[in-house]
Structure 1
Amino acid sequence: MRYGIITETYPPEVNGVALTVQGLELGLRERGHAVELVRPRQPTDAATTDATLLVRGAALPRYPGLRFGLPATRALRQRWQQARPDAIYVATEGPLGWSALRAARQLGIPAATGFHTRFDDYMRSYGAPWLQGTALRWMRRFHNGAQATLVPTRELQAFLTGHGFRNVVLLPRAVDTRAFHPDQRDAALRASWGLDAHALAVLYVGRIAPEKNLPLAVRAFRELQRIRPDARFVWVGDGPAREALQREHPDFIFCGVQRGEALARHFASGDLFLFPSHSETFGNVVLESLASGVPLVAFDYGATRELVRDGVHGAAVACDDEAGFIAATLRLGANDALREAMRTACREAVAALRPARVAEDFDQLLRSLAIGSPAHAASVLS
């Protein structure tokens, strides 16, 4: 089969969407399919190839290093008339994504979309809650222009279906449990953080940005520090809020963006992961923390609701219960024996998740769309 994947973001950009899309692409290639990737040109890119179509892009405001694709309907239509894909997957709702759906519709190419970002929740985080409804309607119009919309959790599937999104199909996520493993724990790395084997490393991994609800993580850590003065807060990632956070909290350790084995070492070298975000569609870092054997404190939705049992793998806190989040941080951070007992259970929570199975399911869904059966596509993954 010949598939097309259209995305506004892709590695070396570091975010959940970019890494998820790359995993889907590589999974299809490993299954023997021809895959054409369509994305904005990045500074390090050379020319378009048979496997990648590079289009014009522009910088994303407030997010240095990230770009969005400019409209490219004509270029996509010409490209696909010459080498027609059997089906396409559109991962992002930007101008490039809209262009891809428009060109596919004009040529009669079946399309699936991926719902990766809760832009309606982002409106609240960036001080414009009155735009939440508008954002949701805009996303519904986009995704209903495809034959299927892929989501990573049953919770999100039910939410979108209840708000008028059609043909919402569940495609679970997975994590490479060989790469993310407790054996990656690194005493030298912990020493560089000023920690010995018995001190407490509290982690945050992800975008350092307003929509991640980071002030709550800071409050929780400061409360924990009162009873665990040996604790250090280690931040892995980058984003528009980093500069102010680093200036206001000079004792925090900022490691910047980490990838691959380095990211796995940072995860496994931590003792407790704080994930205060309430705007995720999933949260890949939850899987990576569990695979690394690191208990976590997170709100009970997305990946946490799918995989985390409160009191077994960490704490799954009722959504928006900030006092509960802080209390759980204190309870887990103060009890070394409890966290140690959770480490094995964390690994077991993700042991059955295999990237190869996700690629197989993704392939079956696109194949079903290619033969003209959206209903069958939905039943394949049900």
Structure 2
Amino acid sequence: MAADPNLFDEESGTKRFRAKRDAILAAAAQAINEQSAKGMTFADVARRVGLNTTSVTYYFKRKEDLASACFENTLERLQAMLDEALREPTPQARVAKYLSINMRRLAAIQAGTETPFAVLSDLRAMEEPARGPLMAGWREVFRKTRTLWGPAKTRAEKDLHGARAHVLLENTFWLPIWLTRYDPDQFDRIEARLMNVFEQGIAAPGRSWAPEMIDLDHDTSEPGRAAFLLAATRLINELGYRGASVQKIASELNVTKGSFYHHLDAKDDLVIACYQRSFDTIADAQHLADDAGGDYWQRLSSTIATLLDVQFSERGPLLRTTALSGLPSSVRAEMVERSNRIARRYAGTMSDGIAEGSIRAVDALVAAQALMALQNAAFDMRNWARTMPRDRAIAFYASTLAFGLFDDRVLSL
């Protein structure tokens, strides 16, 4: 019996449609990663795939539909990666598998055989009705990541698994930022060194969690400007660079838009000022910990604890790196370089601690970037932290890298 030629035409057309749609999604993901979801335009996406703008609207009627589809694709791929990792028999094997899948993906992107998926930093800035399902998808990713450690027997275990899941996810999201400093033939080595930190932590055997909280200097700048930067930092962390409009920031403080321009000349200046405030806070904590003396594990743990206290408190969070996608490339590079200088100082502290014996023999540069991810993402865990005493929240969250993702000693604190 002869095959129906119309059937092949239909199948061929479906394949072409899917291929073109996938190409548009890949281009849109790149645009989102460079410019944020609100900054992405049909015209730019069309240019990247060699189409005109009208052709893109054949696949996606509105820009919001395209952004939503990009985020759905990211969430689906994360779910698939986690499903693969969950087939492993132990928590250590599952985490190692999830990290390995991420490293293979990044190597393929570097080789040009795979395209990046859209980062999720703008998820909260999406409008309804898209926002609800997307946030539900993100919560499912988080819950599935938490199950890498198996079922929690107590509320404390569930809290600890939640901290571990968040730190693991944020480290894999942060990898593309700093992995560019290494050649692809070093990726296997980086994977092994990072997994070593995940497995055994940073503190030397026998060391405990007993940080000394550092009294950070209060902001002595103009009070109105300090309040403005604090409100802006919170909103940008929650809504992204483009989601946090000048009007929203002014409304948060119950002032006029004119007040904004009294303190800063432009919105880019605002984000740069927020970053400088955050970087200065981190650098102050590092400097004051060194001034206080003690062994290098004491200095490092005190710095981490103090900065987590800042992140979990109302006195002012640090600005998330999610705001980077909205900045001009030259400014973005400058902010990343300042971040790298802070990471190198962490690495120096760890190198001295390794020589001293208070810190394990880890790859200090890799461990420092893992700490940057932990510290940067802690803002998102502030609601989690409010469900328990502050010192317990800090200890649970910090333990993920202090003692590794599989050490339960913190449960006895």
TM-score (structure 2 length as normaliser): 0.28
Bigger relative CO (Cα 8 Å, ≥ 6 apart): 2
Give the number of the structure whose residues are more often helix, by fraction.
2
TM-score (structure 1 length as normaliser): 0.29
Give the number of the structure whose residues are more often strand, by fraction.
1
